[in-house]
Chains A and B, each alone.
Chain A
Amino acid sequence: MRFVRDNGLSIFFLVIFLASLAGQAIAGHGAFNHDQLLHHGDPISLGRYLTTSEFAADVAENWQSEYLQFTLYIFGTVWLLQRGSPESKPLDNAGLESDEDQKVREHADARSPRWARVGGLRTTLYGNSLLVVMTTIWLASWLAQSIAGASGYNANQLDHQAATVSWVHYLGSSDFWDRTLQNWQSEFLAVGSMAILSVYLRQRGSPESKPVGAPHDATGLEG
């Protein structure tokens, strides 16, 4: 039970991620088969639908935009500030900060991760590991979106007896950029909204909010 209590946030989001992925599969399967029938085709099983490029592209296009959101958020909050927002660092603290503040190298303590202590390339790498991993997952899922999306696009071309396109051509297509940008705009809006709404609004008990009684211009406080 202690494990559940100590990891409740991760467990909760893992469970609802799996539930919504399953729901997306079921709803997407229904929509796919509806389109099949409209085109005088045969419906396919749920298991078959899960191996189609249409499903893969629908999943990947959302993953890539989420990881881009976090990539930009992590990187942006190093350098950019928002007066009054708990999402921002204090106004005099933009940038990578001192080794002492970051508790690296000689300023690390006994409980610091080993790579924070050792110095050299390992400490530099560890000090940017969150951004590196988020960026890698973003690029990998965007690549997956492009490959699966090209296949799904070409499947639709073939269904209409039209010529298919190469992957490179697909990267410049309106279909690829429509899928990409419709996801990006919502992610950027969400993060931007959070940055500014948290200046004026509060949620008691959440670390994403300032304390309820904190002034609007207090920056970098967590509730």
Chain B
Amino acid sequence: MTPTRQALPVAVAVLALAGCGRSGDRADARSVAESFYAAAAGHDGARACTWLSTGARQALEQDESEPCARAVGQLKLTGRRARRVEVNSTNAAVALRGGDVVYLEETQQGWRISAAGCRAPAYDKPADCEVQS
């Protein structure tokens, strides 16, 4: 089999697997979501805010008219441990046990939360979230 004929099936397989998530993405997304909720539950607002994306942090500060570290204490957040993690390209969602869904995006600092405290996502209607960018 010539190199060209060998390359084509490999190329098709690579295309199919793209976006399935790089190794480590699921673990990283899970870790960020759980760390944010742990920090918020422990009233460590400054640490919690480090896990938010720039857009989410700005939206929170604007909505609550307070610095992020204080505003995050006003959020109604439910859950601690991840039940399910889904990664698609540069976006992810972590569903927490008995609680919220957390949405994340890939940033230059790694995975960061773009929306938290989200409930009841539907196919054609965005979830209601406590904070979102």
Contacts and interface: CB of A to CB of B under 8 A. Distances in A.
Interface stretch (B36-44, B71-79, B82-90): B82-90
Which label, helix, strand, loop or mixed, suits the secondary structure of the B interface? mixed
A52 B18 contact: yes
- In the complex, which range does the number of interface residues on chain B fall in? 35 or more
Nearest to A40: B55
A144 B121 CA distance: 27
A59 B118 CA distance: 34
B89 A52 contact: yes
A81 interface: no
A161 B102 CA distance: 9
Contact of A141 (B12, B124, B126): B12
Contacts of B17: 147
A218 interface: no
B88 A144 contact: no
A53 B88 contact: yes
Interface string A63-92: 100000000000000000000000000000
Interface in B47-89: 53-55, 58, 86, 88-89
Given A52-B19, A52-B90, A144-B16, A158 B106 contact: no
What are the 3 tightest A-B residue pairs by CB atom distance, in nearest-first order?
A53-B19, A40-B55, A151-B19
B9 interface: yes
A44 B109 CA distance: 11
Given A59-B15, A151-B20, A158-B86, 18 more contacts: A40-B55, A41-B53, A56-B18, A56-B19, A140-B12, A145-B15, A148-B15, A151-B88, A152-B19, A157-B88, A158-B88, A158-B103, A161-B121, A161-B127, A161-B132, A162-B122, A162-B127, A163-B123
Q: Is the interface of A mostly helix, strand, loop or mixed?
A: helix
B27 interface: no
B91 to A, nearest CB: 4
A140 B10 CA distance: 11
Given A148-B15, A162-B123, A53 B89 contact: yes
Interface in A1-51: 36, 39-42, 44, 48, 51
A56 B58 CA distance: 33
A71 to B, nearest CB: 15
Nearest to A49: B90
A63 B17 CA distance: 16
Contacts, number: 122
B89 A54 contact: yes
A200 interface: no
B34 interface: no
B32 interface: no
A148 B17 CA distance: 7
Given A52-B90, A151-B89, A164-B88, A144 B127 contact: no
Contacts of A141: 12, 15
A152 B126 contact: no
B129 A161 contact: yes
A13 to B, nearest CB: 12
A152 B88 contact: yes
Contacts of B129: 161
A56 B14 CA distance: 8
Given A152-B88, A159-B91, A162-B122, A42 B107 contact: yes
